[in-house]
Structure 1
Amino acid sequence: MKTLFQSFSPYLTGVAATTVVFSFSSCKKENKVPPRYNIVYIMTDDHTGQMMSCYDTRYIETPNLDRIARDGVRFTNSFVANSLSGPSRACMLTGKHSHANGFTDNTTCVFDGSQQTLPKLLQTAGYQTAIVGKWHLESMPTGFDYWEILPGQGDYYNPDFITMNNDTVREKGYLTNIITDKSIDWLEKGRDKEQPFCLFIHHKAIHRDWLPELKYLTLYEDKEFSMPDNFYDDYEGRRPAAAQTMSIAKDMDIIYDTKMYREGMKSRLKKAYGRKIKRLTPEDRVAYDAVYDSITDVFFRENPQGKELVEWKYQRFMRDYAKVVKSLDDNVGRVLDYLEKAGLLDNTLVVYTSDQGFYMGEHGWFDKRFMYEESMRTPLVMRLPKGFQKRGDITELVQNIDYAPTFLELAGVEIPDDIQGISLMPLLRGEHPQDWRSSLYYHFYEYPAEHMVKRHYGVRTERYKLIHFYDDIDQWELYDLQTDPTEMNNLFDKPGYESIIEKLKQELVGLQTLYGDSIEYRLRDKKL
């Protein structure tokens, strides 16, 4: 099998050019039929490693997510190709960067469901495929034997689902629980148990507006979360960072995001918040209001202003985000428990990840989009089937375009030449390929749009990151991640880095050529 990387090897200065041949470790005889491994892929929205205790113990505990890492592997250098929900999902489904799969942003794109995708390729090999939960790609799912998806972003309380009959059905309860219920129900009753399966469990959690499950409304209310050291970043030397509108201080909505509601208050998102909580039953609304009305009373009595208000908003954000993670962690535990009880764990790859990372106050922000570490980096843990001995950390650079070829190889399916990701199977077998990739490519397109993050592309190596912001701006940024892991010091115009910049630009051009991302913005870029 020839990979895309081999086709462009003249352009590679450190990019991997590797061919992977998979042999099942459990096959001791040549005539023995290899196992048909199942795949359970659990993906959340906007979950970040800072809020997952197998990565970071500062804030909360996530015991069930940690179970996956403890019993399998934890990727410590896992990244996305475009830190935005729809585009990230399209990258996962196709194994291709955004420009190649056609879904570059959430505002102008509709996913082309006729194209080659991971579930379609698995179907051709006899796999049953199913997806439950968030889709967020505008078109209807294709390549799935069963699907129930959320319209748009979906709702936490008493949510609607679109069914395969094109009906929209309202379900009663909390969304994270319902998605898990539907997923387990399909595993138990909806599939042919004689055939292998790939189930995509796609949660809305932990996406903004962070509405908690009712039983966790008061959880973390007595906890003071520590603030990141760069919370009060002044963005010196980083004009694009200063131009965003995702600041906790300036842009976090007092009603929609912190739930402080009083009649007469003005808010851009007041009506949107009202629609969200009106989905609660009258009885549940009483319980909800009892908690947040009391917090609102204290807020208006104390009337924080200035820096005190900013830090109060941060605490509210952190508490509600953490509450939503708690329900998510519970439900991951339910899936693991079911697989164990049903005797499926030994023959199933269980994957947990998020569609991107998120800022938990770093640089003073919430949200994602930037190529900076907190949003480009994403958690990734896997519980491996029986016969895979690898445990602990995997440190190689991996990206969400790698999931499709990994699952295909695990299923014994030939990986098409046009897939741009690399199968992670050698890493799961405990190997450390010498020719593994040494750089990653990133491209963000959605501007002007929500949060106003400028368009940019760049390259990340183990130590350095080079970013070019383009379109209505022309700025380069260089970071030494070894000496400046929080990316506060732009080195691009500092003397002494000329040779490093030149090498990184060559690597960037090599990646753009490799992936075919040679669109018109490059023609306008006189510096490349």
Structure 2
Amino acid sequence: MLIASVAFAKKPNVIVFYTDDHGWADLGIHGMADDVKTPHLDQLARDGVLCKHGYSTAPQCCPSRAGVMTGKYQQRFGFGHNGEGPLPLAETTLADRMRAAGYRTGMVGKWHLEPNWTCSDWIKDSLGVGNATAKTKIPFRQILPYYPGNRGFDEFFKGEMYRYWANYDLDGNDLEKDGEWKNMKGYRLDIQTDASLAFIDRNKDEPFFLYCAYFAPHVPMEATENYLSRFPGEMPERRRYALAMISAMDDGVGRIRERLKELKLEKDTLIFVIADNGAPLKIDMEDIPISFPGGAWDGSLNTPWVGEKGMVMEGGVRVPYIAAWPGTFPAGQVCEDPVITLDVAPTCLAAAGAPIPAELDGVNLIPRFSNAQRPLPGRDLFWRFWGQTTVRRGDWKYIWLGDGREMLFDLSSEKHEHENLIAKHPEKAAQLKEALVKWNNELKPRGIPPALFNDQEVKWYKHYLNLAQ
């Protein structure tokens, strides 16, 4: 069953900015961190809607991206964590749908939905390798079908650092239609902004959909003196680099908005800015040398929320979330309704005048953002990651841990996830557990996570909630 969309006089352009391991505190307008500088993002929020209860679908990179790119809970197709990729070829992407709606589609930056050596089931099925390691070679011909050019994107500049698979260059010239490798010089975030600007310039005369996935402030951390110099004084170096990288993204959004103004497209463009998950604090936020390239604190913060990347606590899944469409969304809104990245796909399709497939799990946000007096219908939001699963209904959040423990929190309370209220409200917990079990039974694999709780989860919950094993 398809849900019809309202037709707008003109199809708006759509830009979705997706940041990486970017904590909730590190958006200036949230007022949580005095040292963060995001003037362009703050202005975008003032020009549109600041979503104070914005969520990703997962506390980890790959599944979160699968959720936003399909508009479906990624566990419906078995993509619950990074190792369960790639994004199945049978899944229809938002780019597929926007292209069908008459849009020119473009992707820039981090994709992270193709096969890699951690995708153990795919590696075994496709290569016959039962114990893959980082040295396992996957033929490029078997990876390419999963790249953005084969997932609905007409134009692409895919890459994280300095090597990109692209079919156009930064000067707007065509490259090989199906893509070619380009080694780039400069700074990675400036490159990703430049590639976004080139896509806009190439497609300014027709409706376009751009997915710009900045690779920041994710490790490995790097920044130029231009950005680092904005943050002098005593602070952990990882914090300084995070602030610099976020500032580079902020500048990029500002440059892109300025180009839209020059092209007289500002009021014809719907923009989202959302992070893929919370910051990885690594519990103690150790300021190890920037030269360390592996997993470490990326300098970002999740204040005031409990937890971090990898947890279904608010610190892992509540993220910066902004939507703006000048002239259509009244400026200066602060949305207190919970929203999620699943809502991006139906909202984009509605803006495009395209039908919204009933299989999508999100809702069209245009009615709410066009009329601040119209609240979103009540709904449950769900998460499942490793041995953790949770549901939010209104201000209540119920969590089941794979070792059998249960928690209930009132997110409207000043204590939020610092106080487990399950003993005081057992009936509320039972209601939410029933809904959570039902949802888990719709997923792949079916069922609430079994009594398995890995070592990392044990450490997290012992530290943040004093839950001993």
Tell me if TM exceeds 0.5. Answer: yes
What's 2:207 paired with? Answer: 196
Q: Which residue of 1 aligns with 2:409?
A: 479
Structure 2 vs 1, CA of residues 392 and 360 (structure 1 numbering), >3 Å: closer, same or farther?
Answer: farther
Kindly provide the amino acid, as one letter, of the partner of residue 311 in structure 2: F
Instruction: State the 1:432 CA deviation.
Output: 5.0
2:397 corresponding residue in structure 1: 465
Q: Is the contact made by 2:408 and 2:420 (CA closer than 8 Å) also made in structure 1?
A: yes
Q: Say whether 1:140 aligns with 2:147.
A: yes
Q: Does 1:319 align with 2:234?
A: no
Cα distance in structure 2, aligned partners of 1:364 and 1:222: 19
Secondary structure of the corresponding residue to residue 382 of structure 1:
strand
Q: Deviation at 1:216?
A: 2.9
Q: Is the 8 A contact 2:391 2:432 kept in 1?
A: yes
Q: Which has the larger radius of gyration?
A: 1
Distance of aligned partners of 1:439 and 1:114 in 2 relative to their CA distance in 1, 3 Å threshold: closer
Is the Cα–Cα contact under 8 Å of residues 426 and 433 in structure 1 kept in the other structure? yes
AA at the equivalent of 2:417: E
Q: What is the TM-score with the length of structure 2 in the denominator?
A: 0.76
Q: Hey, what does 1:125 align to over in structure 2? A: 101
For residue 517 of structure 1, what is the amino acid of its counterpart? Answer: L
- Compared CA separation, residues 374 and 363, structure 1 to 2 (3 A): farther
Q: What whole-Å deviation, never above 9, does each CA across 1:438-461 have from its counterpart, x for those lacking one?
A: 43101113xxxxxxxxx2111123
Distance change (3 Å), C-alpha of 1:518 and 1:328: closer
Specify whether residues 489 and 394 from structure 1 end up closer, same or farther in structure 2 by C-alpha distance, changes over 3 A only.
closer
Q: Secondary structure at the match of 1:51?
A: coil
Match for residue 517 of structure 1?
443
* Contact 2:273-2:322 within 8 A present in 1 as well: yes
CA distance in 2, matches of 1:84, 1:361: 14
What SS class does the counterpart of residue 210 from structure 2 fall into? strand
Following TM superposition, by how much is the alpha carbon of 1:484 offset from its aligned partner in structure 2, in angstroms? 5.1
Deviation at 1:319, TM superposition (A): 1.9
Say which SS state the counterpart of residue 311 (structure 2) adopts.
Answer: coil
Per-residue CA deviations over 1:456-495 (Å, capped at 9, x if unaligned) read 111123322211122xx33222223233545233344xx3
- Partners of 2:450 and 2:77 in 1: how far apart? 23
> How far off its partner does 1:194 sit?
3.7
- Map 1:300-339 onto structure 2 (within 5 A): 315-339=236-260
Matches within 5 A, 1:60-71: 60-71=36-47
Match of 1:396 among 324, 332, 337: 337
Name the residue aligned to 1:286: none
1:174 aligned residue: 187
Q: Distance in 2 between matches of 1:198 and 1:461?
A: 32
Query: Which amino acid in the other structure matches residue 175 of structure 1?
Result: R
CA shift in 2, pair 1:319/1:168, >3 Å: same
What is the match of residue 224 of structure 2?
Answer: 213
Read off the aligned partner of 1:505 and give its amino acid letter.
K
Cα deviation per residue 1:59-80 (whole Å; 9 max; x = unaligned)?
A: 3221011110111111111111
Determine which of 17, 22, 25 is the counterpart of 1:47. Answer: 22
8 Å contact kept, 2:380–2:393:
yes
The 5 Å alignment of 1:104-503 reads 104-138=80-114, 139-141=146-148, 142-150=151-159, 154-155=160-161, 159-164=162-167, 165-188=178-201, 190-191=202-203, 193-224=204-235, 315-358=236-279, 366=297, 368-389=309-330, 391-430=332-371, 432-433=373-374, 436-445=377-386, 455-470=387-402, 473-483=403-413, 485=415, 487-492=417-422, 495-503=423-431
Other-structure match for 1:290: none
Asked whether the equivalents of residues 397 and 438 of structure 1 are also in contact (C-alpha less than 8 Å), the reply is no
> Aligned to 2:12, which of 37, 43, 56?
37
TM-score (norm 1): 0.68
For residues 28 and 324 of structure 2, what CA distance do their matches in structure 1 show? 16
C-alpha displacement of 1:317: 2.5
What is the distance in 2 between the residues matched to 1:361 and 1:106?
18
The 2-side partners of 1:500 and 1:442 are apart by 18
1:83 CA drift (Å): 1.5
**Compared CA separation, residues 102 and 130, structure 1 to 2 (3 A):** farther
- 1:406 to partner: Cα distance: 0.5
Q: Once the two structures are aligned, what percentage of the paired residues are identical?
A: 27
Q: Are 1:22 and 2:2 counterparts?
A: no
Determine the structure 1 residue equivalent to 2:131: none
CA distance in structure 2 between the partners assigned to 1:483 and 1:362 by the alignment: 24
Contact 2:158 2:166 in 1 (8 A): yes
- Amino acid in the other structure paired with 1:201: C
How many Å separate the matches in 1 of 2:450 and 2:280? 31
Q: Distance in 2 between matches of 1:363 and 1:475?
A: 24
TM superposition shift of 1:436: 1.0
Secondary structure of residue in 1 paired with 2:243: helix
